[in-house]
Structure 1
Amino acid sequence: MYSKDVKIAKKAATLAGDKALSELANIKTSFKNGSEVVTQADPLCQQIIIDEIKKHCPEDGIVAEEGEKGKVLVLPPQGSQRWWIIDPIDGTNNYSKKIMLFSVSIALFEDSMPVAGVVYCPGSGEMFEASLNGGMFLNGIRSFCSEDQIKPQSMVAIDSAWPNGIPEGIIELCKSCKLRNFGSTALHLAYVASGSMNACIVNKNRIWDFAAGAMLIQEAGGKITYQDGTDITPLNPQAASEKNFELTASNNVVHNIVLDALIS
């Protein structure tokens, strides 16, 4: 049902990814909101995505990271309940230092529920895509969350932001697996969805960081919830655009284990 929207998102992500790569030779950085790194490529890539979406879906709304003066860009829908949620470069710190672990994240919400999502890693060429009841695919191959318990070879991604310190339970959990942080929430979620990672913990993130990844996790058979275990949907994109979120995503086998570790 949403295959056309996935196709639009893939095209937009590819065009934006190509632009990001072309801008790597001459990166210029600045700061927004005091400490957030932004490059000249972020708004350029975002506009490419918006133009591609609006060409096919002119009545749909947009929530995107790069608005004027550090604000969120919000373009309400005209006659629909569809919102595209865009992060043109997720992992801007990496990108600004020419570390190729960054991604383009595009999601579509309809009636406050995710219905399509794409995460594209230009540096590796990995294209993760999903649509409602249509499955999750990595470069055209159907993929699923793992069914593994936490074990020494397992990989768990944790956020770098812990305002109150890392919980003791998470420290203990990480002693029994491989700890990872790639600097891109969208990539963390995509790797959980494709079975490469068992889980990831997301702190102080915005809707554009996780919206597409949530769709991937859902269609790959995993779980993504708030850190108290409650569902993240329904979620109104406009209302959510100014909020921070603390989430946990994993395969079904270890989700409660990770949630318990967060409160211990």
Structure 2
Amino acid sequence: MNQVEINSRIAAAKIAVMAETELMHREFGHAKPVIKHDGTKVTPVDIAISQHIQDAITKQFPEDQFFSEELAPTALPVPVTARFCWVLDPIDGTNNYANGIIYCAISLALLEDGVPVYGLVYDMARRILIHGGTGRGVWNGDERAKARAELPDRHSLIGFHSPVEKIYADEGKKLIENFKIRGLGSSTLHLTYAAIGLLDGVVDHNNKVWDIAAACAICTEAGVEVHYLENAPFPMKEFTLNAKRVQYAAGSTAVVAKLRQVLGR
């Protein structure tokens, strides 16, 4: 029964996410952002996609909890009480989206008992749905995908965002000195690209659970290790906009070991 319940949710999630792609592409580079209380940006498209996907999911699965960065009714923590819950980032990479930079994604995760079991990421740049989860494989569109198996070296491609806090600037310098860096402006895509073999690994200091929940489910199935440097977010016990930022190094076991060596932690 468990597999049937998860399969029905995956099918509904695919339809709900893909239904929003026309709106996402139509308003790309045109949607006007505003600054939220936390200093991040949001556009009317973020809010519309959130509402549409929430409506579609909760109509079919009213017993599930649904969490979105853009629709949280309060900044207070909401306990996770349902067996199944959903975590949505309607547009990861809103800065890119508003400025007409193509690296953006819709990120929708299905969690069971607070642990991501399936992730769906619509990659706007490549116009493709990346999805996968425990025992169900990893899919790059209609094709099976897998993570890179190469040992780390100075040519390894590492996704990295400039850290928000200056105390991590030295770690950024170390990464730049040891690897080839790619900064796409989307934490979701960085981690998902590691899962499907486009990047060797990722280091990030500046995430919330909605940025990575879907990608983490895909990474688990792909054999990509996500080593939390601070504030492991799963199993998720509560959803709050004020959660501490998640820091991690991700990649194959060998890549994570090398990243941790370079970072010194």
After TM superposition, the score normalised by the length of structure 2 is 0.88
User: 1:109 maps to what in 2?
Assistant: 111
Taking the aligned partners of 1:35 and 1:172, their CA distance within structure 2 comes to 28
Asked if 2 retains the 8 angstrom alpha-carbon contact of 1:85 and 1:108, the reply is yes
- Aligned position for 1:164: 166
Residue 234, structure 1, aligned to residue 238, structure 2: no
Hey, what's the Cα distance between the residues in 1 that align with 2:115 and 2:198? 26
Q: Does residue 136 in structure 1 map to residue 138 in structure 2? A: yes
SS at structure 2 position matched to 1:136 = strand
Q: Is the 8 A contact 1:205 1:246 kept in 2?
A: yes
Give the match for residue 14 of structure 1.
Answer: 18
Residue pair 1:90, 1:186 contacting (<8 A) in 2 also: yes
Q: Identify if the C-alpha distance between structure 1 residues 38 and 122 changes in structure 2 by more than 3 Å, giving closer, same or farther.
A: same
Q: Check whether the contact 1:82–1:109 (CA below 8 A) recurs between aligned residues.
A: yes
Q: C-alpha distance in 2, partners of 1:167/1:108?
A: 34
Query: How far did residue 4 of structure 1 move?
Result: 2.6
Instruction: Map residues 198-213 of structure 1 onto 2, 5 A cutoff.
Output: 198-213=200-215
Aligned mates of 2:150, 2:30 — CA distance in 1 = 43
| Deviation of 1:18 (Å) | 2.0
Name the residue aligned to 1:66. 70
- Give yes or no for the alignment of 1:35 onto 2:36: no
User: How many residues are treated as equivalent by the alignment?
Assistant: 261
Distance, in Å, in 2 between the alignment partners of 1:241 and 1:33 is: 11
**Residue type of the alignment partner of 1:262:** L
Distance between the aligned counterparts of 2:100 and 2:194, measured in 1? 24
Query: Kindly tell me: are residues 55 and 70 of structure 1, through their superposed partners in 2, closer, same or farther at Cα, counting changes over 3 Å?
Result: closer
Question: What does the per-residue CA deviation read over 1:1-55, in whole Å, with 9 as the maximum and x for residues that have no partner?
Answer: 2333222222222122221212236321111015211111110011111112113
Q: Check conservation: 2:51, 2:71, Cα contact below 8 A.
A: no
CA contact (8 A) 1:60 1:83 kept: yes
Aligned to 1:45: 49
Identity over the aligned pairs, expressed in percent? 27
Provide the alpha-carbon RMSD of the alignment: 2.6
Q: Structure 1: give runs of 5+ residues left out of the alignment.
A: none
Distance in 2, matches of 1:102 and 1:72, equals 28
Q: Would the alpha carbon gap of residues 139 and 245 (structure 1) be closer, same or farther in structure 2, given more than 3 Å must change?
A: same
Q: CA 1:122 to 1:18, structure 2 compared with 1: closer, same or farther past 3 Å?
A: farther
Do the aligned partners of 1:120 and 1:127 also contact (CA within 8 Å) in 2?
A: yes
Given residue 40 of structure 2, which amino acid in structure 1 is its aligned partner?
E
C-alpha contact 1:31 1:37 (8 A) present in aligned 2: yes
Partner of 1:254: 255
Report SS of the residue matched to 1:24: coil
**Mapped partners of 2:79, 2:59: distance in 1:** 15
Name which of structure 1's ranges 121-130 and 2-11 shifts more when overlaid on structure 2.
2-11
For residues 62 and 175 of structure 2, what CA distance do their matches in structure 1 show? Answer: 47
**What are the superposed Cα offsets for residues 91-113 of structure 1, whole Å, 9 maximum, x if unpaired?**
00000101111000000111121
